[in-house]
Amino acid sequence: MSVPLSSSADRDPLSADFWEGRYQNGTARWDLGKPAPALVDLLTSSDGPQPGRAVVLGSGSGHDAVLFAQHGFEVTGVDFAPAAIAAASQRAANAQVAVDWLQHNIFDLVPTYAQQFDYVVEHTCFCALEPNLREPYVQLVHQLLKPGGQLIGVFFTHSRPGGPPFGSQPDELRRLFGPHFELRHLAVTPHSVRDRLGEEHLGLFDKR
C-alpha cells in the first residue's frame, strides 16, 4: 500500500524529505515539546487503557511514544524523517525506556505488521495527510490492529482551509471510521495547549 512520492520532494507532504527539512530547519511547529496533554490525561485516568502493544504513527520526535512506554506499553514508533527518529531514539534513551523505532512510510507497514497491535496511537499524523488519503489511513489502522484492538487518537478539528495540518470535523471522523470501528468516545478535549483549545477531539475507536 505504498504512497508514491512527488518529484518535488521538498514541497511534498508525502515525502520524507519534506518532513526531514521541517525538522532540520526547526519548523516542526506541531511538536509541542511534550506529549499531547489529552494522552497524558487519558493514561493517568482511573479508566485509562490497559498496557499492551501500541504503534504510534508519525511518531515525530517521540514524546507520545515515550509516554506510552513509561506507562508500561510495548511501543513501536514510526516516522520516515531520519531526524525525527534520531531525536526520538535519544529521548527514549534519556527516559530509560525501550521503544522500537521504525524509519518507515506508514503505508508500507502492512502486510508485515498486520494485526500486530492492541493499540494504534494517533496525534498529528492524520492531519498531516492529504484528505484523499484519509480512507487509506483508516484501512491501514484497521489492518494494524488485532481483533478488538483500539485506535486512540487526538484529532485536529479546526476549520481553517489548507494544510498541513488539515482539519477534520467530528461528523467526518464518524463517517470515515464508522464502517470499520465501533465509536467508544469522541469529544472535544479540555486537555490541550492554549493555542489548540477547542480544536482537538479525543477519539477512542474499537476495531469491529
Q: What is the mean pLDDT of residues 161-167?
A: 83
Cβ-contact 53, 119 below 8 angstroms: yes
Backbone angles phi, psi at 171, to 5 degrees: -65, -40
Per-residue model confidence (pLDDT) at position 27: 45
Mind listing the pLDDT tens digit for each residue in 39-62? Answer: 999 999 999 999 999 999 999 999
**What is the pLDDT at residue 17?**
60
pLDDT tens for each residue of 182-204: 999 999 999 988 877 878 999 99
Strand-pair category, 74-79 with 53-57 = parallel
What is the four-CA torsion angle of 171, 177, 182, 188, rounded to 10 degrees? -40
What are the boundaries of each domain within the chain? 31-207
Cell numbers describing residue 68 = 506510552
Instruction: For residue range 137-160, list pLDDT tens digits in order.
Output: 999 999 999 999 999 999 999 888
Q: What pLDDT, in 10s, does the model give residues 58-103? A: 999 999 999 999 999 999 999 988 999 999 999 999 999 999 999 9
Work out whether the CA dihedral 15, 20, 25, 28 comes out positive or negative: positive
The pLDDT-based confidence of 3 (bands split at 50, 70, 90) is very low
Could you name the CATH architecture of 31-207? 3-Layer(aba) Sandwich (3.40)
101-123 tens-digit pLDDT: 999 999 999 999 999 999 999 99
CB atoms within 10 A of CB 114: 14
Q: Which residue, among 174, 185, 182, 186, has the nearest Cα to 206 in the 3D structure? A: 182
What pLDDT, on a 0 to 100 scale, did the predictor assign at position 154? 97
Residue 159's pLDDT is: 82
